[in-house]
């Protein structure tokens, strides 16, 4: 029985559903046409984070005609940079391999996008969901984190996580530091559907820096970055 993957694109404030199918264990790729349109771009850098690299592994990235093969990565993040582009339009292609089995989800998030020292506010995210064509599954039904505030969060104070779940589910929140170490966890069952809020008070010994909060449910996983300051 073959397993296929559906890729959903979320671009800027509009949600554009583009579906791509790939057989698990084989290569696949997807392209953002005119991802960036500026007067002229020479240097470009950005970060790409994955909530679960075991579902889809990024092999390489192509920016226009330039292939980035030797990617700088840790478990969750990939740092990408390219020079001498000299282009007014940027087309971005992600090449990777579908790894996981049926009904598993990963989210790819692009952030810290900088073109010639200009920080671009381009909100681009991709959800990759395994799908078996012989079994009906409503892939839209999974929970997500919609906001963290304040962000940056301040040490020794509480901060709030807004999240959404459209089915009753076991809920597990986990926080990881930049080294990929889990530093906090909370688990409960959520009967109420819709938007909700969780207040978190991190240990006062938690150092300043970047963190990732993961939301795991019976239906999938979502993550959201935040920064802890003084």
Q: Is residue 45 part of a domain?
A: yes
Q: Is residue 97 part of a domain?
A: yes
Task: Identify the pLDDT of residue 139.
Answer: 35
Q: Are residues 127 and 23 in the same domain?
A: yes
> Which of 131, 164, 199 marks a domain boundary?
131
Q: Are residues 123 and 174 in the same domain?
A: no
Q: Are residues 223 and 152 in the same domain?
A: yes
Tally the C-alpha atoms within 13 A of residue 218's C-alpha that lie toward its C-beta: 10
Q: Find the mean pLDDT for residues 107-123.
A: 84
Full residue range of the structural domain in which residue 159 is found? 144-229
Q: Is residue 137 part of a domain?
A: no
Say what the pTM is: 0.52
Among the residue ranges 19-33, 121-135, 167-181, the one predicted with the least confidence is 121-135
In terms of C-beta density within 10 A (0-12 exposed, 13-18 middle, 19 or more buried), how is residue 129 classed?
Answer: buried
Q: Are residues 116 and 150 in the same domain?
A: no
Q: Are residues 26 and 51 in the same domain?
A: yes
Q: Does residue 3 surpass a pLDDT of 50?
A: no
Residue pointed to by tokens 């459209």: 166
Q: Does residue 175 surpass a pLDDT of 90?
A: yes
Q: What is the CATH number of the domain that holds 180?
A: 2.60.40.1930
Q: What percent of the chain has pLDDT over 70?
A: 77
Could you read off the pLDDT of 15-72 as tens digits, one per residue? 333 445 556 666 778 888 888 888 889 999 999 988 777 677 788 899 998 988 778 8
And the tokens for 120?
């671009």
Q: Are residues 120 and 150 in the same domain?
A: no
Q: Does residue 127 surpass a pLDDT of 70?
A: yes
Q: Does residue 132 surpass a pLDDT of 90?
A: no
Task: Identify the pLDDT of residue 140.
Answer: 36
Q: How far apart are the first and last CA of the chain?
A: 53
Q: Are residues 164 and 79 in the same domain?
A: no
Task: Identify the pLDDT of residue 73.
Answer: 79
> Which of 76, 100, 131 marks a domain boundary?
131
Q: What is the CATH number of the domain that holds 110?
A: 2.60.40
Q: Are residues 17 and 120 in the same domain?
A: yes
Q: Are residues 189 and 80 in the same domain?
A: no
Strand partners, 82: 44
The distance from CA 45 to its chain's CA centroid, rounded to whole angstroms, is 17
Compare 220 and 58 and report the one with higher pLDDT. Answer: 58
Q: Are residues 58 and 162 in the same domain?
A: no
Q: Find the mean pLDDT for residues 167-173.
A: 83
Q: Are residues 157 and 214 in the same domain?
A: yes
Calculate ∠ Cα 181-186-188, nearest 5°. 145
């Amino acid at each position: 029985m073959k397993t296929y993957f559906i890729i959903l694109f979320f671009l800027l404030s509009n949600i554009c559903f583009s579906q791509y199918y790939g057989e698990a264990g084989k290569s696949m790729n997807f392209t953002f046409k005119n991802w960036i349109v500026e007067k002229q771009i020479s240097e470009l850098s950005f970060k790409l984070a994955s909530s679960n690299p075991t579902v889809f592994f990024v092999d390489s990235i192509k920016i226009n005609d330039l292939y980035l093969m030797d990617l700088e990565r840790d478990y969750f993040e990939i740092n990408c940079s390219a020079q001498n582009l000299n282009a007014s339009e940027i087309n971005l292609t992600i090449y990777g391999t579908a790894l996981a089995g049926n009904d598993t989800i990963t989210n790819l998030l692009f952030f810290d996008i900088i073109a010639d020292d200009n920080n671009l506010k381009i909100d681009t995210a991709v959800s990759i969901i395994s799908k078996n064509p012989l079994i009906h599954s409503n892939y839209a039904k999974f929970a997500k984190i919609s906001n963290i505030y304040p962000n940056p969060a301040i040490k020794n104070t509480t901060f709030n996580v807004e999240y959404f779940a459209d089915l009753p589910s076991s809920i597990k929140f986990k926080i990881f530091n930049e080294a990929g170490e889990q530093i906090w966890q909370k688990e409960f069952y959520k009967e109420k559907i819709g938007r909700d809020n969780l207040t978190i008070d991190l240990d006062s010994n938690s150092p300043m820096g970047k963190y990732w909060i993961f939301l795991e449910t019976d239906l999938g996983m979502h993550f959201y970055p935040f920064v802890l300051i003084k």
